[in-house]
Amino acid sequence: MRKINVFDTTLRDGEQSPGVNLNSREKLAIAKQLERLGVDIIEAGFPASSRGDFLAVQEIARTIKNCSVTGLARSVKGDIDAAWEALKDGASPRIHIFIATSDIHLKHKLKMTREEVKEKAVEMVKYAKERFPIVQWSAEDACRTELPFLAEIVEKVIDAGASVINLPDTVGYLTPAEYGNIFKYMKEHVPNIGRVKLSAHCHDDLGMAVANSLSAIENGADQIECAINGIGERAGNAALEEIAVALHVRNDAHQADSSLNLHELKRTSDLVSKLTGMAVPRNKAIVGDNAFAHESGIHQDGFLKEKSTYEIISPELVGVTADALVLGKHSGRHAFKDRLNALGFQFDSEEINKFFTMFKELTEKKKEITDDDLISLILEEKVTDKKIGYEFLSLQVHYGTSQVPTATVSLKNQENEQLIQEAATGAGSVEAVYNTLGRCIDKNIELTDYRIQSNRKGEDALAQVFVRVTVNGKETSGRGIAQDVLEASAKAYLNAVNRQLVLDCNLDGLKRQTAVGS
């Protein structure tokens, strides 16, 4: 049975989802969980796109040891150089170079001829091969490229040193039969195709990304590029969890499988959902809350008599457990630390003490603390450092059906230790809170998106709020978690502001370094 390499692009193509903006710490947390999941390649970002992305890719490459880390690069020497500097310390560095090959892209985007594109592709693959042991080359918009020309350029870049050839359905246009035929054609018409692995990268614009990926495997693809929860540009990428379980359950049909640790799928999905702020639909295959639920009486009767009547996948296979570990106010530090380690979190003693204190405070409000609660507690991002941003101290809201909602907020300015207290009204409680925070913070802030959900079922579930705001014209996002919805709302708003302040500070520092260097 063939082994299919899993190329995860959650941190690159997935982060390109509108409204998603991960910082370095969040990217590293996801990368560690992807390593735990057992993906073969992590596409950590686009190093040349920004200083922040460069540093995030560099940190991930230096940290991850059990899978290969790669970065995206245009067919530009500067991009390749940036990728090498970011990835050279990795355990198995590789680069992912792309250039468009369809006539529509050549005419309207690149303004190049086919011959010019072919020469550029060969030149850049050779240049990258001088540094990287593994070079992956992608024909952007391969799905709309004439097959004879695609075969011609693929043959040339293989001779130039490419180790992996990616043939993406960049716009999610093809049917499974059409997409599979591209791989079959390459196998039959490219003389040196046996020297490389073929990779598939499918988008979900017409809802066929997973089906197209499986069709590619059936026609010779050795690698699948996908993202957790199917996030990505526009309608997203092929969902990693769906492909992985489809290969496992139907390996009789596909004659191929991955080496993923499927028990980590649900945990990985939850982590990505929380950090990106992109909720997973309840009816989402494999990882949705309803994926293993049965409500119909007929289904329930059959399931109780024999699970296989209506269940082709066991919840345990993907890490869904009916009875999660419950901690409470009598739990000690040792049990708390062991549970964090089991969940994939590793902290030093100081951080353990900080989180244990937060855990104890939460047990005064909730009788039982589940794994979901612990994950939410840990992921309540503390982006402020001792000198940047604002610290949330207290919130008081007065509300009644015959009263104007009024909020009072206390913050501490981290830069000068100044205590800030303000009050304001609003049409509703959340608006009152945000109007008050706006008065506390001397910035032009506009709320553009507000979303709320609970971290699990039950009346004592924690509220999770995700917001998107503009701070002085720059868009950023934030996340807040608390048992009270209004407190979570305030923390999300403040978290977004602090993230932008930290980013602005880092950019100012970079500009000063550049000025001194010049």
* The predicted structure's pLDDT at residue 301: 67
Q: Are the beta carbons of 271 and 14 closer than 8 angstroms?
A: no
Q: How far apart are CA 58 and CA 39, in angstroms?
A: 18
Measured CA to CA, the distance from residue 502 to residue 486 in angstroms comes to 24
Confidence class of residue 175 from pLDDT cuts 50, 70 and 90? very high
Q: String of b and e for 373-385 (b: at least 16 CB within 10 Å)? A: bbbbbbbbbebbe
* Res. 299 pLDDT band, cuts 50 70 90: low
Q: Which of 151-160, 299-308, 335-344 has the lowest mean pLDDT?
A: 299-308
Q: Is the pLDDT of residue 454 over 90?
A: no
Q: What is the mean pLDDT of the chain?
A: 89
Strand boundaries in 61-147, DSSP class E: 68-74, 94-100, 134-140
Binding residues for Mn(2+): 13, 201, 203, 237
Q: Please check the confidence at residue 515 and state whether its pLDDT lies above 60.
A: no
Tokens of 498: 């602090």
Half-sphere exposure of 195 (CA within 13 A, CB side): 16
Phi, psi of 13 (to 5 degrees): -70, -35
Cα torsion for 43, 48, 51, 52, to the nearest 10°? -20
- pLDDT of 481 above 70: yes
Q: Which residue has the higher pLDDT, 110 or 508?
A: 110
Binding residues: 13, 201, 203, 237
What confidence score (pLDDT) does residue 308 get?
A: 81
Tokens of 295: 């409500």
Listed range (40-44, 255-259, 477-481, 504-508) with the worst mean pLDDT = 504-508
Which of the four pLDDT bands, split at 50, 70 and 90, describes residue 335?
confident
